[in-house]
Structure 1
Amino acid sequence: MTSDEWFDEIAARLAPQGVVAGKVFGKRALKADSKAFACLKGDLLAFRLGAGSPEHTAALAVPGAELFLPADNDRPFKDWVAVPVAAADSWPRWADAALAALHG
């Protein structure tokens, strides 16, 4: 599956929980309560997991994962982890965790 297909599948699965697809940073994003918690950038899906949380630490341990650079500059978003499509089978897990973190 492509990164867009994975994104669409996750969006459809989370729609009953009030999640909608939208845009943030000019990229496709998943939002709840008008707040983005996931953002697709090429073959990376970034999740807002909260710096220092167990989920954030675990996501960063995924091979190829990195802090999210939405604008390709040197200022990563420390609460966000970008996970590569090579690990897309873990994307639903991180989407669930990011949604839960958003709702506190």
Structure 2
Amino acid sequence: MNPDELFDDLADALAPRGAVAGAMFGKRALKAGGKAFACLKGDVLAVKLGDGTAAHADAHALTGAELFDPSGKGRPFKDWVAIPVSHADQWPHHAGIALDGLG
């Protein structure tokens, strides 16, 4: 499956919990209560997990995962982890935690 299809599936799965599709930095994003918690950029899903949390450490430990740098100019968001499509099976888990963190 391509990243857009995976994102659509994720959006559908999280919709019952209040997630809605939107945009962030011109990219597809998931939001709840007007706040973004996940963003698709190319073939990575960035999720807001909170710097210093166990969830952040777990996601960042995945092979190829890195801090999310939406500008690509070396200014990453410390609370966000970009998880590559090679770990798409982990996207729902981490996006769910990010959604929980908004509350």
Question: What's the TM-score, normalizing by structure 1?
Answer: 0.97
Identity of aligned residues (%): 60
Where does residue 100 of structure 1 map in the other structure?
Answer: 100
5+ long unaligned stretches in structure 1: none
Where does residue 89 of structure 2 map in the other structure?
Answer: 89
How many Å separate the matches in 1 of 2:43 and 2:73? Answer: 17
How many Å separate the matches in 2 of 1:100 and 1:17? Answer: 9
The alignment of Structure 1 onto Structure 2 pairs a total of residues equal to 103
Question: What's the TM-score, normalizing by structure 2?
Answer: 0.98
Deviations 1:61-99 (A, max 9, x none): 000000000111110000000000000000000011100
Structure 1 residue ranges (4+ consecutive) displaced by more than 3 angstroms after TM superposition: none
Q: Which amino acid in structure 1 is aligned with residue 33 of structure 2? A: D
Where does residue 35 of structure 1 map in the other structure?
Answer: 35
Q: 3-state SS of the aligned residue for 1:102?
A: coil
Where does residue 55 of structure 2 map in the other structure?
Answer: 55
Q: 3-state SS of the aligned residue for 1:70?
A: coil
